[in-house]
Structure 1
Amino acid sequence: MSTPNTKVLSLYRNFIRHGHKFSSYNFRDYTVRRSRDAFRANMTETSNEKIAAFIAKAEQELAVVKRQAAISQMYTTGEHLVVEAPKL
């Protein structure tokens, strides 16, 4: 069984990875920013019960992000905003 630290790091990486898969800049930026903020806010937590609850909630939210990122890729328009870096 993996340690809580390993599980949390894995969840964090998956949130960032799947957050970058959104085709819309606004959704992509919001998901990545919100993920970082949530993990940083709970970084100093030491209670095992609260950590377990946070991990369970994060796993549910990660499933939502994965589904929405997949749907976002299916219905992409190909148009990019001015603030986005052009894809080469």
Structure 2
Amino acid sequence: MASGRREILNLYKAMLRESQKFTSYNYREYALQRIRDSFREGKTLSGEEVQEKLKVARDSLQIIKRQVVIGQLYSSPNLVIEK
């Protein structure tokens, strides 16, 4: 269980780190909030459900990485809130 817990924590941190790379404030905040909410919901899961959610989270991490690259290719000016 300890290695499973460590894997979950590492995945959570990796997703948060990667989401910080979004250049758009709105995308960044949305991703961070979704990650936090999803992992909070996952606290009540056990067994097979945890493994399914881990697979979804790994896939989501790959999606976030791709979206960050796309966002960097097509950047937009900063919002007033970001200045």
TM-score, normalised via structure 1 length: 0.85
Structure 2 unaligned regions, length at least 5: none
Structure 1 unaligned regions, length at least 5: none
Task: Name 1:31's counterpart in structure 2.
Answer: 31
How many angstroms does 1:80 deviate by? 1.1
| Paired residues, number | 82
Are 1:44 and 2:38 matched, yes or no?
no
Task: Name 1:81's counterpart in structure 2.
Answer: 79
How many angstroms does 1:44 deviate by? 2.7
Please give the per-residue CA displacement for 1:29-66, whole angstroms capped at 9, x wherever unaligned: 10001100100111132x21111111011101111011
Q: Determine which structure has the larger helix proportion and give its number.
A: 2
The correspondence of residues 5-16 of structure 1 with structure 2, limited to 5 A, is 5-16=5-16
For 2:8 and 2:69, the matched residues in 1 are separated by 23
Q: CA RMSD in A?
A: 1.3
**4+ residue segments displaced more than 3 Å:** none
For 1:41 and 1:25, the matched residues in 2 are separated by 24
Task: Name 1:59's counterpart in structure 2.
Answer: 58
For 2:66 and 2:36, the matched residues in 1 are separated by 19
For 1:76 and 1:6, the matched residues in 2 are separated by 35
Letter in 2 for 1:81: L
Instruction: Give aligned-pair identity as a percent.
Output: 37
